[in-house]
Structure 1
Amino acid sequence: MEARHRVMSLLLVLVIGCCAWGCRPGAAQVPVPARTDGFVYGGKAPALGETVVVEAYFDPVCPDSRDAWPELKKAVEHYASRVTVVVHLFPLPYHSNAFISCRSIHAVNKINPSFVYPLLERFFKYQEGYYNQPTYGKTRATVDAEVAKNLVAPVIGEANLAAYKAGFNDSKSDQATRISFKAPKKL
């Protein structure tokens, strides 16, 4: 009986120790991004206080994001020098291909930041083909290949497709997408 009591006590100490280790400050924290998250629409980020900054949180395969984008662009055009728009990619968990689309945009950004918004708009234009139901029976690899061929290649060109695929499969694009999703949002 004494041996059983010792084993139970040891297990209890082990469980408490594991819980304490997992709950230590910083254990489950998201790494601090290397730079401010998001993509500035229309060029260079303004100096602090130079313009009003509108931050939008978009999922490239979300119909609400798609519908909001044209109106947001109109506001930017109307207020031109007084407004800056920063789009943060926010893959919603109930859109099966949201993470793929956001990761694609991060990978394309590494090739050339000027490709970001044309690709985002292409996702918006053709997003119905990447909703949950049309891709339900497809493998992740098939969807990745279709995104590369049908959405990414027309924006970045065939010559950059190998760089895109390398960037898409690089852990840095995965990490950038995860940090972007998990980083605290100022809502």
Structure 2
Amino acid sequence: MSMPPVFLLLCFFSVLNLSAAQTPIPAKYDGFVYGGGSLWKGLVIIEAFLDPMCPDSRDSWPSLKQALEFYYPRVSLAVHPFALPYHSNAFASCRALHIAHNLNASSTYPLLELFFKHQESYYNAPTYYRSRAFITDQFSKIAAEAVGKGSYSAIKSGFNDSRTDMATRISFKYGCSRGVMGTPYFFVNGIPLPDYGSALDFKKWKSIINPLLTVKK
């Protein structure tokens, strides 16, 4: 999705602030590894910055998932939740991903897909008169579908845990530190792909990955 000037300024000041005050260093590398395990196990490493409330992120996911399943285990993926500030409920949805991951790491990607499925119900206009408490309750219910039966209370409590708030902030600041300006935003083996904000189809992913695997071979 294209960036308004105010967001570019926000990213700029976030990066500038890194030099003024040290961002807390997380205990592990940011992001959720698809399929679990180490991100570095793949011959080709993809990092995707996605916003669960972004339609372009939603549209980019099916073809990226298809590529992962086609090339596994030669290709590995980490999704970094990146809450775009002009999507009103983005931060809460990214926080829900962190909460779910802490409770059941295998639930993170199913939850991301659930957010994509129900996304239109939580756009800015439909939730204009909804409170933050209402949104977190709704997101807790959605997350419970992915995490498992009886997990609702633990998920709801997670929204009151300062550690999940900090983890979500760090994910955003990490994206800013790498120059991420929108979603979806992709890096392949550490190099950013051009034309961020657009979904790549399966054919495009193959054209990117195949030459890299040939070189590795």
- 1:118 aligned partner: 110
Change (3 A) 1:47 1:55: closer
The corresponding residue for 1:42 is: 35
2:124 maps to 132
- 1:162 aligned partner, one-letter code: S
- 1:17-166 pair list within 5 angstroms: 27-47=20-40, 50-149=42-141, 151-166=142-157
**Superposed, which structure 2 residues align to 1:166-181 within 5 Å?**
166-181=157-172
TM-score, scaled relative to structure 2? 0.70
Larger Rg: 1
What is the distance in 2 between the residues matched to 1:24 and 1:129? 34
Cα deviation 1:119-163 (Å, max 9, x = unaligned): 0000000000010000001111111112222x1122223411121
Q: 1:116 to 1:173 in 2, by over 3 A?
A: same
Retained in 2: the 8 A contact 1:41–1:86? Answer: yes
CA distance in 1, matches of 2:144, 2:76: 28
Of residues 65-74 and 26-35 in structure 1, the stretch that sits farther from structure 2 once superposed is 26-35
CA distance in 2, matches of 1:131, 1:158: 27
Question: 2: CA distance between counterparts of 1:93 and 1:24?
Answer: 18
Native 8 Å contact 1:61 1:95 kept in 2: yes
CA distance in 2, matches of 1:97, 1:24: 24
In structure 1, distance between residues paired with 2:86 and 2:39: 34
User: Cα distance 1:158–1:182, how it changes in 2: closer, same or farther (>3 A)?
Assistant: same
Which structure ranks higher in relative contact order (CA pairs < 8 Å, sequence separation ≥ 6)? 2
- Gaps of at least 5 residues in structure 1 are 1-22
Give the structure-1-normalised TM-score.
0.81
1:54-99: per-residue Cα shift (whole Å, max 9, x none)?
0000000100000000000111111112100110000001100000
**CA displacement at 1:47 relative to structure 2:** 3.9
**Paired residues of 1:110 and 1:167 also in contact (CA < 8 A):** no
Conserved in 2, the CA contact under 8 Å of 1:39 and 1:86? yes
Distance between the aligned counterparts of 1:70 and 1:105, measured in 2? 18
